[in-house]
Structure 1
Amino acid sequence: MFGPISSWWSGPSLPAVESKPYDPTDPKQNSLNPKGLKPCCACPQTKSARDDCFLKYGDQAPEKCKEVVESHLACMRGLGFKV
C-alpha cells in the first residue's frame, strides 16, 4: 500500500556518476601534456623526421625508418598518448 508513496517521496534515483574516459589532451587528466596538445600537433620534430624518412625510402621505409618511428612513438608516449 505504501510502496508507490515511498517511491514518490524518495524522488527519482540519481544516475551513477560516470567517470570521463581518458583524454590525453585534457591537462587535468594528463599531467604529461600540460599544453593540451592534440596528437596531430604533438612531437613535431620526430613527426617530420618520420614523414621525411617514409617519403625518402618509400617501399623500404618499414625497415629503414624503424628507429625514427620508435623515437616518434616514444615522444608520443612521453606526452601520455596511448599508441
Structure 2
Amino acid sequence: MLGSITSWWGGSAPTPAPESKPFDPTDPKQNPLNPKGLKPCCACPETKSARDDCFLRFDSDESTEKCKELVQAHIACMRGYGFKV
C-alpha cells in the first residue's frame, strides 16, 4: 500500500535493505583464506591425521598431555583457513 501511495505522489517506495548472509568459512567469496572452499572435515588432513593417530595410540589420561602439541597444530591450521575453532 505504501508503494501505491508514494508512487501517486511521485516518489518511490523505499527499497528494502539487502539481507546480509551469515559468515560461511567455506564460501571463497566471503573467506579469502579458503579459496578452494574446503569444509572443516577436509581442510587440514595432515594435522588431523597426526592428531587422531596420537589419540588412538594413548589412553585418555596420557593422550591429553602427549597429543597437546598436535592438537594445537591442528587448531592453528584450521584457523589459517578462517575456521573459528
- CA offsets, 1:42-78, max 9 Å, x none? 1000000000000001212111100000000000000
Which residue of the partner structure matches residue 81 of structure 2? 79
What amino acid is aligned across from residue 50 of structure 1 in structure 2? Answer: R
**Quick one: distance in 1 between partners of 2:69 and 2:31?**
26
**Structure 2: any 5+ residue segments left out of the alignment?**
8-12
Within-5 A mapping of 1:37-48:
37-48=38-49
Other structure's SS at 1:33 match? coil
Tell me how far apart the structure 1 counterparts of residues 64 and 15 of structure 2 sit (CA, whole Å): 52
- Structure 1 runs of 4+ aligned residues shifted over 4 Å read 11-14
SS of 1:23's partner is coil
Q: Percent identity?
A: 68
Residue aligned with 1:40, SS: helix
TM-score, length of structure 1 as denominator length? 0.83
Q: Which runs of 5+ in 1 are unaligned?
A: none
**Which shows bigger deviation, 34-43 or 14-23?**
14-23
Please tell me the residue identity of whatever aligns with 1:46: T
1:12-23 to structure 2, matched below 5 A, reads 14-23=15-24
* Equivalence for 2:53: 52
Structure 1: distance between partners of 2:25 and 2:44: 14
Whole-Å Cα distance in 2 between the matches of residues 69 and 10 of structure 1?
Answer: 60
Shift of 1:15: 3.8
Aligned residues: 78
